[in-house]
Amino acid sequence: MLSIIIPSYNEEKNIEKTFAVVTEVLEANGIDFEIIFINDGSSDSTWQKISDLAHENDNVTSVDFSRNFGKESAIFAGLEIASGDACVLMDCDLQHPPETIIEMYNIWKNNDVDIVEGRKKSRGKESKLYKCFSMLFYRILNKSSGLDMDSASDFKLLDRKVVDALNKMPERLTFFRAMSSWVGFRTEKIYFEVAERQEGKSKWSARSLFRYAINSITSFTSAPLHLVTVFGIISFIISVVLGIDTLYNKIWGNSEAGFPTVIILQLLTTSIIMFSLGIIGYYISKIYEEIKNRPRYIITKIVKKDKEEQ
Ligand code: UDP
Ligand code: MG
């Protein structure tokens, strides 16, 4: 069975349509499925709509959050509740084409693949500034986490094994896109064209996107902490050069009395403080890695002589 997880936040106009289209496409292909709608603290009639659907259909589960916890939380709630052999995450606005679910399903069914990852063929309509920021964001993430995150999306099919592995990750601040590549497993990519949003407008404001970016970076890499060490090294090099220059002036030139001492003291203390902060930052990054309490490894499969365990 396939579980379709759909986070919904103020999507009253999309719920019914999304439900109808997804149901139609999956039934036409004879796939057994359930749909899990998560109402992420909407202020419109989204909850009304999805709870009605759940009353009318055996294969619909609707979940209600007490307030808006964000898409990430909705995704992880869905993964925890889903009971399918595979889960598909999709948006409520039909920007993720339901036909792609069928392709994902077939790839998963016919190959030894645990994750089918939807990648954006093109990034859809976006402003120049937004493109710039998203490029910077992905550059930082790719470089520091070693995961290829460009054109990644939350549109993914995950095998039960992957879902179980993700459910075991105890951290509170999550970044689904990166966590689902961090767990590894055999991954197949599939490209899809981002469709136009059906109804309503995007839930992301510049502010919420910025917060999401900062949160994602800090919850996935400790690179910003190491920057302090780099600054410390740079300022030390500068202080050595300037220090030599000041001493040279004091001995051979004509500098104000007392001035060289002030300059050298200032330079030295700054770089020592930077260094120390860098070292502390390094330990904090270790504490941070530890406190996430991630499993040290994830086993995909164990093969024994006469039985195979998944
Ligand atoms: N969403 C959510 N909680 C939020 C913001 C968004 O559950 O706080 C859901 C939203 O209902 C939609 C999906 O996340 O199903 C993607 O949101 P949106 O279409 O606004 O993002 P975009 O496509 O512009 O990136
Ligand atoms: Mg959208």
Mutate to test the pocket of ligand 1, among 9, 11, 46, 202 (most ligand atoms within 8 A of CB): 9
Q: Ligand 1 atom closest to Cα of 38?
A: 7
**Residue pLDDT, tens place only, 89-146:** 999 888 889 889 999 999 998 988 999 998 888 766 677 877 887 788 888 777 777 7
The residue with greater pLDDT, 10 or 199, is: 10
Whose alpha carbon is nearest atom 8 of ligand 1? 70
Complete edge-to-edge strand list for the sheet that includes strand 86-89: 60-64, 33-39, 2-8, 86-89, 152-159, 115-120, 187-192
- State the average pLDDT over residues 8-22: 90
| pLDDT for the residue 301 | 65
Please report the pLDDT score of residue 160 as a whole number: 93
pTM of the model: 0.76
Residues 216/69/18/194 CA torsion (nearest 10 deg): -20
Q: Of all protein residues, whose CA lies closest to atom 22 belonging to ligand 1?
A: 202
| pLDDT digit string, tens, across residues 49-81 | 888 888 888 889 888 888 888 888 899 999 999
Q: At what angle do helices 128-145 and 223-252 cross, to 10 degrees?
A: 90
CA distance 47 to 37: 9
Distance 77 CA to ligand 1 centre (A): 15
199 pLDDT exceeds 90? no
Which residues are 302's β-sheet partners?
309
Which residues have a Cβ under 8 Å from the Cβ of 104 and sit 6 or more positions away? Answer: 88, 116, 118, 157, 190
Mutate to test the pocket of ligand 1, among 6, 91, 207 (most ligand atoms within 8 A of CB): 91
Q: First and final CA of the chain: distance in angstroms? A: 17
Residues in contact with ligand 1 (CB, 6 Å cut-off): 7-9, 11, 40, 68, 70-71, 74, 91-93, 95, 197, 202-204
According to the model, what pLDDT value does residue 162 have? 93
pLDDT in tens, 148-185: 777 778 899 999 999 999 998 888 778 888 888 888 88
Distance of CA 106 to the CA centre of its chain: 25
d(CA 245, CA 184): 53
Mutate to test the pocket of ligand 1, among 49, 71, 96, 130 (most ligand atoms within 8 A of CB): 71
Task: Name the pLDDT band for 216 (thresholds 50, 70, 90).
Answer: confident
Q: Could you give the maximum distance between any two Cα atoms of the chain, in Å?
A: 91
Nearest atom within ligand 1 for CA of residue 203: 20
Whether the pLDDT of residue 6 is over 90: the answer is yes
- Within 10 angstroms of residue 12's Cβ, the number of other Cβ atoms is 18
- Condensed to tens digits (0 to 9), the pLDDT of residues 282-309 reads 888 888 878 877 776 666 666 667 665 5
Binning pLDDT at 50, 70 and 90, where does residue 240 land?
Answer: confident
CA distance 90 to 133: 24
